[in-house]
């Protein structure tokens, strides 16, 4: 076989011990994040050092890992609060716009707005109970 015809094969080797370690670390980190979130959202959250100590004792992690988890959770909580505030501001703006536009819309379209009427009497239809499907 010439060099132009030679084939190469790619093999992947996996360190199973490292993969198992990372899976275990991810599980511990997830549980620690949940505990940190619960503690931070209490009425009177503990100080950062007490929270750090609790995470270290409950999850058998070191100080650096606990600080990392606390920083991650604090950032997520802060982001959620800011996003919620922005969303409420957007909704208030939409409500204000709707209340300003609604009277103008009614004036412009008063003649085209009609209630559904009965074919027999020509009066506005009331909801008929017989046509509705009973709900359980």
Q: Is residue 13 one of the residues assigned to a domain? A: no
Q: Rounded mean pLDDT of the chain?
A: 81
Q: Is residue 29 one of the residues assigned to a domain? A: yes
Q: Is residue 90 one of the residues assigned to a domain? A: yes
Q: Is residue 54 one of the residues assigned to a domain? A: yes
Q: What confidence tens digit (pLDDT) does each residue in 47-104 have?
A: 999 999 999 999 999 999 999 999 999 999 999 999 999 999 999 999 988 888 777 7
- Give the torsion sign (CA, 75, 81, 85, 90): positive
The owner of tokens 């204000």 is 96
4 pLDDT exceeds 90?
A: no
Q: Is residue 83 one of the residues assigned to a domain? A: yes
Alpha-helical regions (H) of 1-134: 16-40, 48-59, 63-108
In three-state secondary structure terms, 124 is strand
Q: Is residue 123 one of the residues assigned to a domain? A: no
In three-state secondary structure terms, 84 is helix
At 115, the pLDDT band (50, 70, 90 cuts) reads low
120 pLDDT exceeds 80?
A: no
Give the range of the structural domain holding residue 68, as residue numbers without chain letter.
Answer: 20-112
pTM beyond 0.85, yes or no: no
Q: Is residue 61 one of the residues assigned to a domain? A: yes
Q: How many domains does the chain have?
A: 1
CB atoms within 10 A of CB 32: 24
Q: Is residue 127 one of the residues assigned to a domain? A: no
């Amino acid at each position: 076989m010439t060099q132009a015809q030679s084939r190469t094969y790619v093999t992947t080797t996996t360190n199973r011990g490292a993969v198992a370690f990372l899976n275990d670390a991810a599980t511990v980190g997830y549980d620690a994040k949940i505990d940190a979130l619960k503690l931070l959202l209490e009425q009177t959250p503990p100080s950062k050092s007490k929270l750090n100590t609790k995470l270290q004792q409950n999850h058998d992690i070191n100080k650096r890992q606990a600080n990392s988890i606390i920083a991650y959770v604090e950032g997520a909580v802060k982001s959620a609060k800011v996003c919620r505030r922005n969303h409420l501001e957007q909704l208030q703006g939409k409500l204000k716009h709707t209340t300003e536009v609604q009277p103008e819309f009614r004036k412009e379209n008063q003649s085209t707005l009609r209630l559904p009427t009965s074919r027999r009497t020509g009066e506005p239809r009331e909801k008929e109970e017989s046509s509705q499907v009973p709900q359980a």
